[in-house]
Amino acid sequence: MEIPAADAATRLAAVEENIARICKPARRDPADVTLIAVSKTHSPERIVPLLETGLRVFGENRVQEAQGKWPELRERFPDVELHAIGQLQSNKADDAVALFDVIHSLDRSSLLKALAKAMDKADRRVPCFVQVNIGDEDQKGGCPIGEVPAFLAKVRDADVPVAGLMCLPPADTEPAPFFALLAKLARDNGVEGLSMGMSGDYETAVQLGATHVRVGTALFGPRGG
């Protein structure tokens, strides 16, 4: 079901106003926060109204799903910037490098090797966020906190552009300490980009320095709605 254009514009305006409101006391420029509309599981019909508002940065979890939607959408909106925000399998590296403009889930040496090889083959350098397992959770991807400096060095040695650090805090916990820790890790390692914060906690993330927030429900409405 398509989102009425007015609804899409209203939701976008509300999120942008929230970001601006949080930036003010933090003495940050709202323009320094990139809003990524998480369009995973949403059909082109639901994505187009947001594109028509002028929003151009979108995020997808799965390579195959993105391949099915975005080539056609990009014919209509060629200036779209597409971000890979989900776990990425090494065997999808070639497809990811061809399709995405930024990758948020670089978290292990095998994936780094595959992406570097794919970038060399395509003669295209795609900036990557290093995903950090900020809550030390066994079930989640991400580079262990203690290995971040060494892994960042590996990424740079492979001539893969470092966009910053990314995290997903543990569910059902206060996210602020985890966002603050990611920001500290970034400062300690000379990295500027911080991909953190989703619909439920992006305001906290912006307050603590997020440069990229990944927002789905607040822009598209509840799933299935």
Contact indicator for 140, 96 with CB cutoff of 8 Å: no
Mean per-residue pLDDT, 176-181: 98
DSSP assignment of 9-63: HHHHHHHHHHHHHHHHHHT--GGGSEEEEE-TT--HHHHHHHHHTT--EEEES-H
Confidence of residue 139 (pLDDT cuts 50, 70, 90): confident
Share of the chain above pLDDT 90, in %: 92
**Does the structure show a pLDDT above 60 at 184?**
yes
Average pLDDT, the chain: 95
Mean per-residue pLDDT, 123-148: 95
Mean per-residue pLDDT, 120-136: 98
Q: φ, ψ for residue 81 (rounded to 5)?
A: -110, 120
Mean per-residue pLDDT, 53-58: 97
The pLDDT score that the predictor gives to residue 3 is 61
Mean per-residue pLDDT, 87-99: 97
Helix intervals (H) in the chain: 5-26, 44-52, 63-76, 93-99, 109-122, 148-157, 176-188, 202-207, 217-220
Confidence of residue 225 (pLDDT cuts 50, 70, 90): very low
Mean per-residue pLDDT, 1-11: 76
Burial class (CB in 10 A: 0-12, 13-18, 19+), 8: buried
The pLDDT score that the predictor gives to residue 5 is 65
